Structure 1
Amino acid sequence: MGDSPGSPAAFPEGATMQCFSFIRTMMIFFNTIIFLCGAALLAVGIWVSVDGPSFLKVFGPLSSSATQFVNVGYFLIAAGAVLFALGFLGCYGAHAENKCALMTFFLVLLIIFIAEIAAAVVALVYTTLAEQFLTLLIVPTIKKEYGSQKDFTQVWNSTMEGLKCCGFNNYTDFQGSPYFTKNNVFPKYCCSDDASNTNCTEAEAKKKAVKGCFSQLLHGIRTNAFAVGGVAAGIGALELAAMIVSMYLYCHMK
């Protein structure tokens, strides 16, 4: 004699189906948001890369330095493309119950998760090595561009003013730069906390011993370690949850 739909034997299967349906709906909902965010970032990135002057008019002069220094447009395109692809794979995989799309979604997230862990380990273990590498990369650029390249100079001035620092390591980074060659003084930020001293000689800079921006940045990160760690842990937890959900849907699809 078969079980009726409302019998105890039939309930677990119904509950499982309801749970599967709920998780599937949530997967579609959240990945739709990710998909739209990725599309928005992609659109802004393309706009910045193709029509930079219009972007600068909207966001003001500060964006000019940032765009030149970090290539914001390309970064936004890369980040937007990743989010766009992830959102599409997760949404399509859950909606169409496509195992291939869900497995791809899981693998891409897994690669990102492993890369983030590797980056965190490298940042913790090889901080000194990273400093040496960045010194070899950034200091020669300062000596070549500071004082001659307007946007580069403006970015460094804003950085030094904001972090109350001088150069990457210290004032010696500016020796031989176009600014030092022309004025025979160092940037004012290397001699005074309030950046009011415009006659920053080598003797004055040596006396003040203003710290480099790299050490100031590290100090700021360590001071806010709990906040930074909390954000990183939150992102990692969301990625793990997304991987678990995608694998659950994958395993329960026919």
Structure 2
Amino acid sequence: MGCFGFLKGMMFVFNGIIFLAGAAILGVGIWVKVDSGSILSFLGKIENAPAELSQVLNVGYLLIAIGALLLIIGFLGCCGAIRESQCMLLLFFIIVLLVFIAEVAGAVVILVFRPLADELLTKFGTAAVQNIKKDYGKNPDVTGLWNTTMGTLKCCGFYNSSDFMDSPFYVAHNKEYPSPCCPGFSDPCNQTVADSVMITGCFPKVKKLIDDNTVVIVAVALGIAALEICAMVVSMILFCRIKSRGD
């Protein structure tokens, strides 16, 4: 088979996986934009939400762009290796290099603007709590979304059970909290029971989950960067080998 044939095969398999991943991400992005009842649409209806949140609502477009980019990269890598096309391999190298540079720049921006992100989350938390107090127990969409979130993450409210105080549900149920705030109790979920259980809010739970897996996230990011570097090296090896054979 030889080293050249092995590199061609690895290039084809690796970029075939990228192509399929791109197709999946593209499909999710299209679904997010088409599904008007998605969680992102709900976020857009939160009153007094920070203006910066509107950028988060464009995540569907972001997924579509990422999916399309991965499709192009996968296609160029597969076809460039199999057809031994110098043009495709060179385009593949340039695109992956630009993506790598963008990722490094993005990491730097995240580190520099971390305090701004914390401020944005604080503003969003205030808006989310106000939304709970106004619509939980009255708006079926808001109520269903929070029930699903709390049931899945085993949490209560955005910060804690007090977020539900004075909400329509709290008023209509004689100052009781939703059942996820008092797991394992058959008695009414009142202030006393909720305080004794002290279920973590959904935001602290998600934040803790991210903090606990920081090492994994960093390792994955470094792994992706290493794969991109390897892909660029292999594409250039194939490019130079093909060019030398043609001379």
Match of 2:199 in 1: 210
2:77 corresponding residue in structure 1? 90
User: Residues 43 and 171 from structure 1, CA distance in 2 versus in 1: closer, same or farther, beyond 3 angstroms?
Assistant: closer
Asked if residue 240 in structure 1 is aligned to residue 229 in structure 2, the reply is: yes
Do the aligned residues in 2 keep the contact of 1:148 with 1:178 (CA within 8 Å)? Answer: yes
Of residues 156, 175, 178, the one that matches 1:187 is 178
1:102-121 equivalences in 2 (<5 Å): 102-111=92-101, 113-114=103-104, 117-118=107-108, 121=111
| Residue identity matched to 2:137 | G
Letter in 1 for 2:179: K
Q: 5+ unaligned residues in a row in structure 2: which ranges?
A: 44-56
Whole-angstrom distance in 2 between the partners of 1:244 and 1:138:
47
SS at match of 1:199: coil
Task: Return the offset for 1:36.
Answer: 3.0
**1:232–1:178 Cα change, 3 Å:** farther
Q: Does 1:164 align with 2:148?
A: no
The residue type equivalent to 1:91 in the other structure is C
Does the aligned pair in 1 maintain the 2:18–2:71 contact within 8 Å? yes
Alignment length, in residue pairs?
223
Q: CA deviation at 1:66?
A: 6.3
Residue in structure 2 matching 1:35, options 10, 13, 19: 19
Percent of counterpart pairs with the same letter? 39
Quick check: 1:90–1:105 contact (8 Å CA) kept in 2? no
State how far apart, in whole Å, the 2-side matches of 1:237 and 1:198 are: 54
Residues 19-73 of structure 1 show CA distances to partners (whole Å, capped at 9, x for unaligned) of 45543442233212321332344346546765x6xxxxxxxxxxx87687689x9
Q: Deviations over 1:155-189 (max 9, x none)?
A: 32233234332211122322343323433432233
* Mapped contact 1:142–1:174 kept (Cα < 8 A): yes
2:68 aligned to which of 81, 87, 95:
81
The aligned counterpart of 1:175 is 165
Q: Is the 8 A contact 2:93 2:232 kept in 1?
A: no
Q: Is the CA contact 1:68–1:152 (under 8 Å) kept in the aligned structure 2?
A: no
CA distance in 1, matches of 2:79, 2:151: 48
State the distance in 1 between where 2:26 and 2:68 align.
6
Out of 133, 137, 145, the residue aligned to residue 143 of structure 1 is: 133
RMSD in angstroms over aligned alpha carbons? Answer: 4.1
Residue pair 2:100, 2:225 contacting (<8 A) in 1 also: no
Cα distance in 2 for partners of 1:187, 1:149 equals 15
Q: Does 1:23 align with 2:13?
A: no
* Structure 1: runs of 5 or more not aligned: 1-17, 53-63
Superposition deviation, residue 108 in structure 1: 4.1
Please give the alpha-carbon distance, in whole angstroms, between the structure 1 residues aligned to 2:154 and 2:187: 13
**2:220 maps to which of 231, 250, 254:** 231
Which whole-Å CA distance do the structure 2 matches of 1:126 and 1:47 have between them? 30
Larger Rg: 1
CA contact (8 A) 1:186 1:200 kept: yes
Structure 1 residue 224 displacement after superposition: 4.2
